[in-house]
Amino acid sequence: MTIQEKLDKLGICLPTIPTTMGAYVPVVSTGNLLFVSGQLPLCDGQISATGKAGSQLGLEQAQQAARLCIINALGAIQAHLGTLEQLTRIIRLEVFVNIAPGFTDQAKVANAASELLHEIFGPAGQHARLAVGVAELPLNSPVEIALIATLK
């Protein structure tokens, strides 16, 4: 089954990636490595949720935002490469969670993103990961995710 067929089966439609909000590019490839800039949970160019996990947002809302960040990262990759079929492995996931004091479930938020990658890519979606809580994120986003992958 192709990656696109897996996305279709999961009901995931990759978005068109909006223009970046700064002096950077969404994706850079060098050799067989692909680096995806931090992705926010944007939907149709608008932030889907705002606030801190543990106060303005519950765990499930933060997890939904993390899944949307992954979908946006895959959209950025597809826009850059023209296809996701060139990906061979997700190497590293970096998950930043906008947290209220005392919120310690960053790993549970990150699990939603990790599990989605595994659903899509199978064993090639298993990766090393960083999950940290931060005081603020751009646009008051609850989550920002960057990733590194390898290419054929």
Domain contains 30: no
What pLDDT does residue 20 have?
Answer: 76
Among 60, 55, 51, 40, CA closest to 103: 55
Weakly modelled stretches of the chain, pLDDT under 50: none
**CB of 22 closer than 8 Å to CB of 68:** no
What's the CATH number where 121 sits?
3.30.1330.40
Tokens of 143: 């989550």
Beta strand segments in 26-102, E:
27-30, 33-39, 42-43, 46-47, 87-98
Residue 67 falls within a domain, yes or no?
Answer: yes
Integer Cα distance of 67 and 112 in angstroms: 6
What pTM did the predictor assign? 0.96
Range of the domain at 78: 39-151
Which residues lie across from 138 on neighbouring strands? Answer: none
In a domain? residue 10: no
pLDDT at 48: 95
Would residue 141 count as lying in a domain? yes
Which alpha helices (H) appear in 11-105, and where do they start and end?
59-81
> What's the confidence (pLDDT) of residue 21?
72
Question: Kind of pairing, strands 143-151 and 42-43?
Answer: unpaired
Please tell me the total count of domains within the chain.
Answer: 1
Q: Which of 91, 41, 46 is nearest to 66 (CA)?
A: 41
d(CA 92, CA 129): 5
3-state secondary structure of 146: strand
Q: For residue 142, is it within any domain?
A: yes
Residue 32 lies in a domain: no
Note whether residue 20 is domain-resident. no
Cα–Cα distance, 143 to 56 (Å, whole number):
13
In-domain check, residue 87: yes
